[in-house]
Amino acid sequence: MIQNALFRECLAKISPETRHEFDCVFSVAEKIDAAMKKNGITKVDLARQLNVTDDIVSQWLTGRYDFSLSQLVSISDVIGEPLVNV
């Protein structure tokens, strides 16, 4: 749930398409974070297993990253939870 009033106000001004994309990206970030916690995986663990930096994992977890399908599959394999249903 978004608590910051200014942030909520800004979200209210974006197009439905952009809002949908925003919601999807944040849903993926939340799902990754929840699976990491559930399975005892740290940011450092995830970064090492996927050969990326801790900064990249932080971007994933804050919704500031544009994932490719292959990245989502790789992350899914490490965290033990599906991120994409096809």
Question: How confident is the model at residue 54, as a pLDDT?
Answer: 93
DSSP character string of 48-77: HHHT--HHHHHHHHHT-----HHHHHHHHH
For 5-55, give the secondary structure using H, E and C: HHHHHHHHCCCHHHHHHHHHHHHHHHHHHHHHHHHCCCHHHHHHHHCCCHH
pLDDT in tens, 1-60: 456 788 778 778 888 888 888 888 888 999 999 999 999 999 999 999 999 999 999 999
Predicted TM-score (pTM) of the model is: 0.79
